[in-house]
Amino acid sequence: MSDVRGSADYRRLSAANLLERLRLVVTADDQDTTSTSAREVMLDAYAH
Amino acid sequence: MIDFLLNGQPRRCEASPDTSVLELLRDTLGQTGTKEGCASGDCGACTVAIGEGDAAGKTRYHAANACITPAHQLQGRALVTVEGLARGETLHPAQAAMVEHHGSQCGFCTPGIVMSLFTLHESQRQEDGERPAPLTPERLEAALGGNLCRCTGYRPIRDAALAMGDSPRGASRVARPSPDAAAPATEATPEAAFIQPTTLEALIAERRAHPEAPIVAGGTDLWLEVTQRLARFPRVVDITRVDELAALEETTLEDGRAGWWIWRRGDVRAPGAAVRRALPGVRPPAASSGLGPGAQPRHPGRQHRQRLPHRRHPAGAARPGRAAMAGGPRDGDGMAERELPLDDFFLDYKKTALREGEVIRAIFLPRTEPERHLKVWKLSKRREDDISAVLGAFAWRIEEGVLRDVRLAFGGMAAIPATRRGRRGDAGGAVPQRGGLCGGPCRRWRRTSSP
């Protein structure tokens, strides 16, 4: 499913990195859902 | 036959159902100021402004990518191109500012950028009388995010946009007709037709009679078949004028979940407002353009939500709760309706559970419970790209230090958006530590995913 948006390897690596980011967030001490960081919509744009 | 206003002048044109606005302008009308760049709605070189009358009788313009906008959607509307801005030797403020600030080098992207600036100037003026409101950096970025320039550089263009705001009179130089949006073109022939039903009943009747005809709203996906694969569509059904699909309803489902049924449109901004209410506290990205694309494809996406499930690309955003369908291949005048969890709606690449003759009637967007955590992360070549390379959406809650109700979803990692409902059982109950959430479940996911 490699296409202009990125190769399959790139996307698999990106997804793995997102899961790692998720792990860091989940294991962080601050799990207060009332804080503004509890819900987040972010976009990262990278040339590849 | 399409009746519309081109730069203030009435025009009547014949065009096949799969003709784009760009083809109509350049090939039929000889208006070559509008350029073809990527032919896929990404670069903005073909940007034009399309005006519609609002409830107050005012003409409101939005920027559109002419390359992927069906020409027949111009019916009863006002089209403004770069040829229509200047009055004799007097340039429109968008043009004058670009000249003054050296905003054009090779010039290929310039008509599209000027039209985006024109639309921005118009919207500023409409919200604050004749004098444009101060232009914020976020608004400027959102307006120009769908335009690429590869030689001038963006700073002179940005300077031009900021200077343009000093001119109060520019927009009034454009003729202000009152387009009649209530005049759909339905002159069908046995061979070809661009059908624009205005009622759900008429839409379903059309779907039952011609299930092979593709549905179009924004055209940001379907029209790529035309421009990239040279597909031909002798019959197209446009759902943008179906009144019953124009609503936003706050409700509670039988299972107790509160949320919103989002129909096609009501207030143009209503779906966005619903999202903000459904996800209280969501922190927007640094720039206000959000997760979405640039202004040109964002407008039809915002107005015509129905395009999303009908032709769902696997790299799209995470799925909300439920889909309601109406129609189906049955005899008589009845209108069968059914609902599905969106998890069951997507079957394979661009294949959904829609039955022959059915249409999406609404999408249910559930309210996020206040105790849940939610992260939505999207990776894209550029921020305003309408399709991401990878999108991850993760939700969970912590109950006395233990993970509960974990839901993981990815776009761009399989033929359809990939969710792990089963991971509730795997991850729920785990203490949030290394080897918990991202141990076994994530390793299994890495093994099984095939982007």
ipTM, two decimals, is 0.82
CA distance B2 to B50: 14
Is the minimum CB–CB distance between A13 and chain B shorter than 8 Å?
no
> Does the pLDDT at position A16 exceed 70?
yes
In this complex, the residue of A6, A22, A43 whose CB is nearest that of residue B394 is A22
Residue B96 pLDDT grade (very low, low, confident, very high; cuts 50, 70, 90): very high
Work out the percent of chain B whose per-residue pLDDT is above 90.
32
> Does the pLDDT at position B292 exceed 60?
no
In this complex, the residue of B372, B381, B442 whose CB is nearest that of residue A19 is B442
Higher pLDDT residue, B206 or B368? B206
Q: Where are the alpha helices (DSSP H) in B149-248?
A: 154-164, 200-209, 222-229
Record: contact B381-A36, CB cut-off 8 A: no
**Mean pLDDT, to the nearest integer, of B251-277?**
57
Residue found by looking up tokens 């294949």 in the block:
B351
Give the pLDDT of residue B328.
60
**Token pair for residue A37?**
């960081």
Chain A residue numbers touching B410 (CB-CB < 8 A): 15, 18
Cα separation values, B276 from A40, B137, B279, Å: 12, 21, 5
**Mean pLDDT, to the nearest integer, of B159-186?**
61
SS3 of residue B63 by DSSP: strand
**Mean pLDDT, to the nearest integer, of B353-375?**
79
Residue B282 pLDDT grade (very low, low, confident, very high; cuts 50, 70, 90): very low
Chain B residue numbers touching A21 (CB-CB < 8 A): 377
Identify any residues that bridge with B79 across adjacent strands, giving them in sequence order.
B6, B50
Chain A residue numbers touching B278 (CB-CB < 8 A): none
> Does the pLDDT at position B207 exceed 90?
no
> Does the pLDDT at position A2 exceed 70?
no
Record: contact A43-B397, CB cut-off 8 A: no
Query: Across B38-42, B231-235, B438-442, which has the greatest mean pLDDT?
Result: B231-235
Chain A residue numbers touching B390 (CB-CB < 8 A): 6, 11, 14-15, 18
In this complex, the residue of B371, B376, B451 whose CB is nearest that of residue A41 is B376
In this complex, the residue of A12, A39, A47 whose CB is nearest that of residue B279 is A39
Cα separation values, B222 from A32, B209, B323, B409, Å: 43, 20, 20, 25
The alpha carbon of residue A29 is apart from the nearest alpha carbon of chain B, in Å, by 10
Record: contact B282-A40, CB cut-off 8 A: yes
Record: contact B437-A10, CB cut-off 8 A: no
Chain A residue numbers touching B436 (CB-CB < 8 A): 26
Record: contact B446-A16, CB cut-off 8 A: yes
CB pairs under 8 A between A and B: 135
Residues whose CB falls within 8 Å of the CB of residue B269, separated by 6 or more in sequence, listed in order: B302
Give the pLDDT of residue B287.
33
CA distance B291 to A41: 7
In this complex, the residue of B379, B410, B433 whose CB is nearest that of residue A27 is B433
**Pairs from B230-233 (Cβ < 8 Å, separation ≥ 24):** B231/B18, B232/B18, B233/B17, B233/B18
**Closest chain A CA to residue B375:** A40
Record: contact B445-A19, CB cut-off 8 A: yes
**Token pair for residue B174?**
């454009």
pTM of the shown model: 0.78
CA distance B412 to B449: 10
Count other Cβ atoms within 10 Å, centred on residue B338: 14
> Does the pLDDT at position B188 exceed 70?
no
The residue among B352, B24, B387 whose CA lies nearest residue B224 is B387
The alpha carbon of residue A13 is apart from the nearest alpha carbon of chain B, in Å, by 9
**Mean pLDDT, to the nearest integer, of B436-444?**
54
Question: In degrees, to the nearest 5, what angle opens at C-alpha B103 toward C-alphas B101 and B108?
Answer: 160
Identify any residues that bridge with B378 across adjacent strands, giving them in sequence order.
A43, B391
> Does the pLDDT at position B58 exceed 70?
yes
Record: contact A39-B451, CB cut-off 8 A: no
Chain A residue numbers touching B279 (CB-CB < 8 A): 39, 41
End-to-end CA distance of chain A: 16
What is chain B's mean pLDDT, rounded?
76
Give the pLDDT of residue B248.
65
Give the pLDDT of residue B99.
96
Chain B residue numbers touching A1 (CB-CB < 8 A): 415, 450-451
